[in-house]
């Protein structure tokens, strides 16, 4: 035990040369100590089959190093983590710097649960931000207009960046969500009633469910998310988006990526991050690394208890955050 403490302290002395394996080990230990806290999502019935005690975590550095602990190579349902990629791709495909997109969706924290309907009426069908379900539906709609295959665009990007050709939508999860998708259907119809969807509601919902139901591992997600740590540059060295756009995506992740717990997440973790009800959280250390943690038990806001704890431990021990 004492030996381990010494290692951790050595790993974090200056924040410049981090000992990622030691940090990951410490983060895993903290996450595993949360066993029993939180609940696996079951409002999408097929998600309830996840092993509540699973835990994995991975880091991909901007220099191409890759580290992982626990179940870091096990695929899980990425759910709302996919919204980070749909937003990035919609912006990358936009020819106007995203101006049209940002007219259809705001970029302010909602202070409401991710599936809330209440703000949409008073705000005339313009969702608060791209990460609550309402906003993500608008982003999926615009990505569909821009590419003709919104979920395919997300899937292809994830496959390309992760180098994992097997990465795919889990059709059982997608069908389960569609079958129980009354809230998302209500949101989409309400947005459409305000003229803020360009495609048929059914098309938007199908693509939204399909990108949420992608199964990917912490390994896949850190590689796919590392363009945000490289200020917009993909794993093959080509640019997906400008440095300024990458800053904007990171800013919206920080303020809105964990819903009505975004303040608490910034307070504890201090990184831009996106959570999903499958229990994954993908976070960004700009200029340094992408980090993903996964554990299926969720807190009240729909964020993974184990993943938040692991990321909190990592940034606290290393002293590395955006602050």
Q: Which of 47, 49, 46, 71 is nearest to 58 (CA)?
A: 71
By CB under 6 A, name the one of 302, 311, 312, 317 that touches ligand DON.
302
Q: Which of 108, 106, 131, 94 is nearest to 277 (CA)?
A: 131
115 interacts with ligand DON by CB under 6 A: yes
Please say if 304 is a catalytic residue: no
Q: Which of 274, 92, 291, 79 is nearest to 169 (CA)?
A: 79
Binding residues with ligand DON: total (CB under 6 A):
12
86 interacts with ligand DON by CB under 6 A: no
For residue 64, what are the contacts with CB-CB under 8 A and spacing of at least 6? none
Structure-block tokens of residue 45? 């019935």
Q: How far apart are CA 323 and CA 315, in angstroms?
A: 10
116 interacts with ligand DON by CB under 6 A: no
In angstroms, the Cα distances linking 24 to 72, 236, 266, 279 are: 11, 26, 20, 18
By CB under 6 A, name the one of 61, 80, 140, 321 that touches ligand DON.
80
Indicate the residue among 106 and 296 with the shorter CB distance to ligand DON: 296
Q: How far apart are CA 209 and CA 188, in angstroms?
A: 12
By CB under 6 A, name the one of 28, 161, 170, 177 that touches ligand DON.
177
Of 69, 139, 277, 308, which residue is the catalytic one? 277
Please say if 83 is a catalytic residue: yes
Span interacting with ligand DON, options 2-10, 88-96, 230-238, 272-280, rule CB under 6 A? 272-280
Span interacting with ligand DON, options 98-106, 192-200, 245-253, 269-277, rule CB under 6 A? 269-277
79 interacts with ligand DON by CB under 6 A: yes
Instruction: Kindly compute the dihedral angle of the four CA atoms of residues 262, 267, 270, 272, in this order, to the nearest 10 degrees.
Output: 0
127 interacts with ligand DON by CB under 6 A: no
> Could you tell me the smallest distance in angstroms from the CB atom of residue 226 to ligand DON?
21
Please say if 259 is a catalytic residue: yes
> Could you tell me the smallest distance in angstroms from the CB atom of residue 8 to ligand DON?
30
Structure-block tokens of residue 124? 């005339």
Q: How far apart are CA 150 and CA 39, in angstroms?
A: 31
Of 67, 209, 231, 259, which residue is the catalytic one? 259
For residue 153, what are the contacts with CB-CB under 8 A and spacing of at least 6? 86, 89, 93, 143, 147
* Burial class of residue 91 in the structure, from the number of CB atoms within 10 Å of its CB (0-12 exposed, 13-18 middle, 19+ buried): buried
Indicate the residue among 303 and 321 with the shorter CB distance to ligand DON: 303
Q: How far apart are CA 11 and CA 319, in angstroms?
A: 11
Q: How far apart are CA 188 and CA 173, in angstroms?
A: 20
By CB under 6 A, name the one of 154, 212, 256, 306 that touches ligand DON.
212
By CB under 6 A, name the one of 114, 227, 231, 265 that touches ligand DON.
114
Indicate the residue among 62 and 301 with the shorter CB distance to ligand DON: 301
Please say if 86 is a catalytic residue: no
Indicate the residue among 184 and 199 with the shorter CB distance to ligand DON: 184
- Catalytic residue set: 80, 83, 208, 259, 277
* Sites of contact with ligand DON (CB under 6 A): 79-80, 114-115, 133, 177, 184, 212, 275-277, 302
């Amino acid at each position: 035990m004492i030996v381990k403490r010494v290692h951790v302290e050595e790993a974090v002395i200056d924040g410049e040369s981090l000992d990622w394996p030691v940090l990951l080990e410490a983060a895993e230990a903290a996450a595993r100590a949360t066993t029993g806290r939180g609940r696996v999502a079951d409002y999408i019935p097929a998600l309830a089959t996840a092993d509540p005690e699973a835990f994995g975590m991975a880091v991909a550095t901007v220099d191409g190093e890759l580290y992982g602990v626990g179940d870091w190579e096990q695929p899980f349902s990425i759910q709302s983590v996919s919204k980070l990629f749909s937003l990035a791709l919609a912006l990358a495909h936009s020819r106007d710097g995203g101006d049209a997109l940002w007219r259809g969706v705001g970029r302010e924290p909602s202070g409401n649960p991710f599936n809330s309907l209440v703000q949409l009426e008073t705000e005339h069908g313009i969702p608060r931000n791209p990460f609550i379900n309402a906003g993500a539906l608008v982003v999926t709609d615009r990505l569909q207009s821009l590419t003709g295959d919104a979920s395919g665009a997300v899937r292809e990007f994830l496959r390309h960046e992760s180098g994992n050709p097997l990465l795919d939508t889990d059709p059982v999860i997608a069908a389960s969500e569609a079958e129980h998708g009354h809230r998302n259907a209500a949101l989409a119809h309400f947005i459409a009633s305000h003229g803020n969807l360009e495609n048929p509601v059914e098309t938007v919902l199908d693509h939204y469910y399909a990108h949420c139901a992608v199964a990917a591992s912490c390994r896949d997600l850190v590689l796919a998310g590392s363009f945000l740590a490289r200020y917009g540059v993909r794993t093959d060295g080509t640019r997906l988006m400008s440095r300024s756009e990458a800053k904007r995506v990171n800013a919206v992740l920080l303020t809105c990526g964990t819903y009505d717990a975004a303040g608490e997440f910034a307070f504890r973790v201090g990184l831009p991050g996106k959570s999903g009800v499958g229990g994954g959280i993908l976070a960004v250390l700009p200029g340094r690394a992408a980090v993903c943690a996964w554990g299926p038990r969720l807190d009240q806001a729909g964020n993974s208890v184990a993943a938040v704890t692991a990321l909190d431990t990592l940034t606290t021990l290393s002293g590395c955050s955006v602050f």
